[in-house]
Every structure is written in structure tokens, then in C-alpha cells.
């Protein structure tokens, strides 16, 4: 093992120390064809969504965030990362359906719009600051870099050139992490911002960006969201001989981050005024995952965009909406403890 790999493992281990996890332990069979109500999703969230909490360097979460402390009510999404059917090698494999860079970015923007629409709908006590408003931040322009625009035009839906059947061994995109256009890319080298900033750890990465944006818009906290989506077509693994089922996996991780200036106010309210850590603090972090069966292996004459739309895209977006709303409902329940 290289020194770099060993150091990374040590970092991962240190980030997991002192973490309390609740929920998400029970297996749950999700039915993509069921029209779940908000109450259904709220009940399911305790089974699907894991909540992670960790005390920061100074102070305890249960005293830093109480009803006697400032509430967390005004929030916005600062980072929205996606990984969709990664192909780091630049070659297609055995999973049949692949996307272009513009296809991945179009899906990313569809998913971001689900969060933008769902938070005001489900978390009515929160004052949600939309992604379109965050994009206009003046203070954020000095941090990170411009997000690449792969779409080049006013488009909202995917076309046959964006997602398609592709035989194994054909050239495809190596672009891994995507963001909505006109957001800021706050990643570091090849490490996504969501991995560097997300909780439950306290974070140094882009701490001034978090602090400046919350001050600019009067936010109490910002959200960092990572969506990881991939699928497999049915085949036998050539190394193990195991059968790989035909299924779609969706993972959503989200964190509620508190800027260090807000953190300092909370510490001062507890009588602590010296040597205050200048770090971003995670109030809560959430992990969630669902798998659903799909149908990609069809006769060659049926390998077309209509098949992809019916058997992959529509179930994907429906499941993504339900899963993201489960995370939002759990987050809203936790945030209510700070002000209701």
C-alpha cells in the first residue's frame, strides 16, 4: 500500500470517529409503480435514510443546537454534485446504456430542480433560498471555478443523442462529477466538493465560501448534496462468475452545514469566547439508497430511445424524486427541533 493510500485510509478512519448513526437499518422494498403520499414517504424515511451526527472540535451538538440557540430556518443549496453511470476508462462495458456529457448535465439539472421544488413544498416552516438565487452570489465568484456548460442551449429534456445503447468497448465520456450550469465548482483537483465538505465531519474545505455566502444572503445554513446513480445490465462477472442482476441503484447523501461565524455565536452563547475553531460544522448528515429492477436487455431491434425512456429514465426520475423527498422530510424534522 502506498503512503498516499495509507494516509487517505487514516483520514477516513478519523472522520468516522465519534459518529452517531440512527435510522436506515431496516431493509425496505420500494415499489417504483406505487404513488406514495407524503405521509408514506415520511414513514419510509426512517427505514431508508440514515442520519449521522458528530460533535465538532469544541462544543456539543446537543447544546449548540437547541431552541435557546438561533434557529436554522433560512437555507439554500450551495453544492449539488452528481455521479451518473461512471465510465472513468472512457470505454463502455456490459451495461448497455450510456450518456454523453450533455446527457449527464441535463439529468443533473432535472435532479436539482426536484430539490428546488420539493423543499418549499415539504418543509413549509423553512425559508428556502433557491439554487437560481445562489447562482447569483457575488461573494462566491472568488471561490472555485466555473462549471462547464456541456448543453449549450435552452434544453431541459434528454434526446436520443444524450442517452443511448452502446456496445461494449466503444468510446464514451470520462467526465465523472457533474454540476448544474452556472453554479460554482468547489471541488479540489479530482475530489468532488461534496466529499470534502459533507458531514458529519467538521470541515476546512471552502469554509470561507460557506461563511461569505451565508452572510451575503442571511442564511442560517447551506446544503451540500451528492447524488450517485448507476445501473447494471444482466450478465455474468468474468472474474467471479457471479450473476449480475439488471437493476438501478440510487444514492443520495446530503449535509446541513453551519458557517464558522454562526458556530462562533453559538459557542459564545455557551460562554466560550477564546480560541474558537474556524471550521464549518455539520448539524446533520444524511445517507440514503434505493435499488429497483429495470429492463435493458432486449432484442437489438428494440434498443432505442423509447425503451430507455420507458424502462430507465422514467423509473429513475420517479425513484429519485421519492428518495430525495424522504431525505428532505427527515432533514425538515431535524431542523424543526431548532425552532419549533
DSSP category for residue 142: G
Which residue ranges of the chain lie beneath pLDDT 50? 1-14
In 3D, which of 330, 321, 329 has the Cα closest to residue 34? 321
Sign, CA dihedral 109-220-258-205, equals positive
pLDDT score for 72? 96
Tens-digit pLDDT profile for residues 263-289: 999 999 999 988 999 999 999 999 999
pLDDT score for 7? 37
- In this structure, what C-alpha cell is assigned to residue 306? 423509447
Query: What's the rounded Cα separation, in Å, for the pair 83 and 318?
Result: 18
∠ at Cα 13 (11, 19), nearest 5°? Answer: 115
Query: What's the rounded Cα separation, in Å, for the pair 40 and 122?
Result: 13
The DSSP secondary structure of 105-123, one letter per residue, reads HHHHHHHHHHHHHHHHHH-
**Class of residue 299 by CB neighbours under 10 A (exposed 0-12, middle 13-18, buried 19+):** exposed
Q: Is 59 left (phi over 0), alpha (psi -120 to 50) or beta?
A: left
pLDDT score for 258? 97
- In this structure, what C-alpha cell is assigned to residue 24? 436506515
CA distances to 84, 235, 245 from 249, rounded to whole Å, are 10, 16, 11
Task: Please identify which residue in the block is written with the cell numbers 483537483.
Answer: 189
Global pTM reads: 0.92
pLDDT score for 1? 45
pLDDT score for 2? 43
- Tell me the three state secondary structure of residue 97: strand
Amino acid at each position: 500500500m502506498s503512503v498516499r493510500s495509507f494516509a487517505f485510509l487514516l483520514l477516513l478512519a478519523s472522520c468516522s470517529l465519534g459518529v452517531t448513526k440512527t435510522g436506515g437499518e431496516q431493509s425496505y422494498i420500494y415499489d417504483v409503480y406505487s404513488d406514495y403520499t407524503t405521509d408514506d414517504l415520511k414513514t419510509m424515511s426512517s427505514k431508508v435514510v440514515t442520519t449521522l451526527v458528530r460533535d465538532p472540535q469544541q462544543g456539543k451538538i446537543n447544546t449548540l443546537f437547541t431552541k435557546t440557540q438561533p434557529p436554522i430556518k433560512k437555507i439554500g443549496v450551495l453544492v449539488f454534485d452528481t455521479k451518473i453511470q461512471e465510465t472513468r476508462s472512457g470505454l463502455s462495458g456490459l451495461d448497455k446504456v450510456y450518456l454523453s456529457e450533455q446527457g449527464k448535465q441535463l439529468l443533473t439539472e432535472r435532479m436539482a430542480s426536484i430539490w428546488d421544488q420539493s423543499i418549499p413544498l415539504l418543509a413549509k416552516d423553512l425559508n428556502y433560498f433557491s439554487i437560481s438565487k445562489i447562482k447569483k452570489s457575488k461573494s462566491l465568484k472568488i471561490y472555485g471555478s466555473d462549471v462547464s456548460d456541456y448543453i449549450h442551449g435552452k434544453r431541459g429534456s434528454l434526446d436520443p443523442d444524450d442517452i443511448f445503447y452502446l456496445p461494449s468497448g466503444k468510446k464514451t465520456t470520462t467526465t465523472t462529477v457533474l454540476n448544474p450550469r452556472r453554479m460554482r465548482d468547489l471541488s479540489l483537483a479530482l475530489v468532488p466538493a461534496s466529499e470534502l465538505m459533507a458531514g458529519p465531519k467538521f470541515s476546512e474545505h471552502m469554509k470561507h465560501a460557506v461563511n461569505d455566502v451565508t452572510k451575503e444572503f442571511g442564511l442560517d445554513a447551506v446544503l451540500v448534496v451528492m447524488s450517485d446513480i448507476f445501473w447494471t445490465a444482466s450478465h455474468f462477472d468474468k472474474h467471479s462468475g457471479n450473476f449480475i442482476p439488471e437493476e438501478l441503484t440510487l444514492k443520495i447523501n446530503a449535509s446541513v452545514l453551519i458557517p464558522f461565524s454562526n458556530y462562533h455565536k453559538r459557542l459564545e452563547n455557551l460562554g466560550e469566547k477564546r480560541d474558537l475553531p474556524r471550521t464549518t460544522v455539520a448539524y446533520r448528515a444524511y445517507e440514503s439508497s434505493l435499488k429497483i429492477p429495470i429492463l435493458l436487455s432486449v432484442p437489438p431491434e428494440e434498443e432505442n430511445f423509447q425503451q430507455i425512456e420507458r424502462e430507465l429514465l422514467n423509473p429513475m426520475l420517479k425513484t429519485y424524486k421519492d428518495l430525495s423527498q424522504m431525505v428532505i422530510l427527515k432533514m425538515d424534522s431535524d431542523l424543526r427541533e431548532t425552532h419549533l
